[in-house]
């Protein structure tokens, strides 16, 4: 199971969740976690009920997009080489987290668990 970490200081971070087999889990305690969403074929889904999901974004080519309307997306970040970046301006980014595992899961976990606002 791969992990995602939130940057908490200049040299520190904390584990906030994990991802495996197209599912994303939020860490809720020392040994516990809850499923918060999933990812598949470039789409990111938030779990909204027992068997229901809603599309909240997409990923591809190292970029993370948040769904803003029926046919609209906004680029909110990127991922590469174990790091997650938040878009802060036209050409600027800020490192907000790290991951260990595949890129697809990292993109989904980042949108579901990290703050891109």
For the chain, what percent of residues have pLDDT higher than 70? 99
Write down the pLDDT at residue 116.
82
pLDDT, average across residues 25-53: 95
For the chain, what percent of residues have pLDDT higher than 90? 90
- Name the pTM for this structure: 0.91
Task: Let me know how long the chain is.
Answer: 117
Phi, psi torsion values for 108, nearest 5 degrees: -65, -45
Mean of per-residue pLDDT scores for the chain:
95
pLDDT, average across residues 95-109: 95
Residue 28 has pLDDT above 90, yes or no: yes
Residue 101 has pLDDT above 90, yes or no: yes
pLDDT, average across residues 91-95: 93
Q: Alpha carbon of 75 to those of 17, 25, 47, 93, 110: distances in Å? A: 22, 23, 21, 12, 13
In the chain, which residue ranges form alpha helices assigned H by DSSP? 103-113
Instruction: Read off the pLDDT band of 115 (50, 70, 90).
Output: confident
Write down the pLDDT at residue 53.
96
Residue 117 has pLDDT above 90, yes or no: no
pLDDT, average across residues 5-17: 94
Range of the domain at 86: 2-113
Number of domains in the chain: 1
């Amino acid at each position: 199971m791969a992990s995602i970490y939130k940057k908490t200081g200049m040299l520190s971070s904390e584990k906030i969740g994990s991802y495996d087999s197209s599912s994303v889990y939020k860490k809720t305690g020392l040994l516990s976690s809850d499923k918060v969403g999933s990812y598949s074929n470039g789409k990111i889904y938030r779990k909204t009920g027992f068997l229901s999901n809603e599309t909240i974004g997409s990923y591809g080519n190292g970029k993370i997009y948040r769904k803003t309307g029926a046919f609209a997306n906004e680029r909110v970040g990127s991922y590469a080489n174990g790091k997650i970046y938040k878009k802060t301006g036209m050409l600027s980014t800020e490192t907000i987290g790290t991951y260990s595992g595949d890129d697809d899961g990292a993109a989904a976990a980042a949108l579901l668990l990290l703050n891109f606002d």
